Structure 1
Amino acid sequence: MGTAETPDGETATEAPSRVKRLEEESEIAADYLEELLDIADLDGDIDLAIEHGRAAVEIVTEEGDGRWLRKLVGRDGEVLEALQELTRLAVQARTGERSRLMLDIVGYRKERRTELTSVAEAAVAEAQRTAGPVRLAAMNPFERKVVHDVVARAGLVSDSEGTEPDRHVVIRPAAAS
């Protein structure tokens, strides 16, 4: 009898230890972010989850629009990206392992994912219509990942080109077999 695998390709015996490690990452991140919120004198709650094989942490609020927490997102999410990296470093300092943790603040990434999905779908349609490459505007790694996922689901190919902060996605029709 073979060993069962999870969707991430792990054996059933490896999966519980991975989940435990991701839960530990989430808890460390939550502690770090709670301290940050206290220092900044901001009200927010921390939601923890495991999504797509990585720890996911979101700062949420029960106050209407979370306008004060949105300051932690910054223009185009650059403050959020920095906070995510600092949180990953805090996790790494405690665990000794690199973290792929995703941080969201008051639903910014969820909203952005929806916007980017629409942009990617339009670009896919254009690449199919013109049978040529379509270059998108510069994006951060999270945004590029969303676009790459949409493109792959559509059966086209995409690559990231350029260097930060001007790295962007190029979408191409799939090569004929």
Structure 2
Amino acid sequence: MKEITASGQTVEEAVQSAIEQLDTTRDHVEVEVIDEGKKGLLGVFGSKRAIVKVKMGRNQIEQTKEYLVEVTKKLNVDAAVTTSIDGHHVTFNLAGEKIALLIGKRGQTLNAIQYLAHLVLNKDGQQYYTVTVDAEGYRKRRKETLESLAQKMADKAVRLNKKVALEPMPAFERKIIHSALQGNDTISTYSDGVDPHRHIVIKP
């Protein structure tokens, strides 16, 4: 972590000097005032310069990106990680040759990586972010699969006139099912069970 000690006539002037030397902005640094300094007689005699120690703050998103590169290497996959930010939501996209290994069965490995990325990104961070970790468009394909499954299972519940329980899913996937069936007046949906076994039940 880069840090620099700077001085100035005032604390703010010293901080500004350090920020310029670090080539960053005020919201990306942590400031420690070593000496507030003093103006002195007539602003000249006995004056003492203010001294501050300024260090680069932790860039949450960059650090999480590096973490994901490290994790994928440990899984023997050489993946490129790209980032896109939309407000307070960050999407990390993984691309590479053995990408199926990072997705896992029904996206379980990818979901686990996403959970870890969320923890790393928000650990001691000043800004809270929600996270999506995607791998070459898997999330979009999975969403389409879940929406199709939702319709099939709703039809089955109505046809058999009894409850149908789906496989356990993480909260964001359950939300896709709930949303897909929201406009269907012939059934209702609710979540049952405790994580990691929490699942959706479709009821006629």
- Give the shorter-chain TM-score range: 0.5 to 0.7
Higher CA-based Rg = 2
Give the aligned partner of residue 20 of structure 1.
Answer: none
**Distance in 2 between the 1:135 and 1:35 partners?**
36
Give the aligned partner of residue 137 of structure 2.
Answer: 107
3-state SS of the aligned residue for 2:167? strand
Would the aligned equivalents of 2:68 and 2:81 in 1 still touch at CA under 8 Å? no
Residue type at the aligned position of 2:78: L
Would the aligned equivalents of 1:30 and 1:57 in 2 still touch at CA under 8 Å? no
Would the aligned equivalents of 2:91 and 2:134 in 1 still touch at CA under 8 Å? yes
Give the aligned partner of residue 158 of structure 2.
Answer: 128
1:160 to 191, 195, 200: 191
What is the percentage of aligned positions where both structures have the same residue? 28
Q: Which contiguous aligned blocks of 4+ residues in structure 1 show a shift greater than 6 angstroms?
A: none
Relative contact order, higher structure (CA 8 A, sep 6+): 1
3-state SS of the aligned residue for 1:67? coil
**Distance in 2 between the 1:142 and 1:112 partners?**
12
- Structure 2 alignment gaps of length 5 or more: 1-58
Would the aligned equivalents of 1:44 and 1:69 in 2 still touch at CA under 8 Å? no
Would the aligned equivalents of 2:151 and 2:181 in 1 still touch at CA under 8 Å? yes
Greater fraction of residues in strand: 2
- Structure 1 alignment gaps of length 5 or more: 1-26
Q: Deviations over 1:115-136 (max 9, x none)?
A: 1111001112223334432221
What's the TM-score once normalised by structure 2's chain length? 0.57
Q: Deviations over 1:119-161 (max 9, x none)?
A: 0011122233344322212223232121111121324421111
3-state SS of the aligned residue for 2:103? coil
Greater fraction of residues in helix: 1
The count of residues paired between Structure 1 and Structure 2 equals 141
Give the aligned partner of residue 37 of structure 1.
Answer: 69
The 1:94/1:29 distance shift into structure 2, 3 A limit, reads same
The 1:30/1:72 distance shift into structure 2, 3 A limit, reads farther
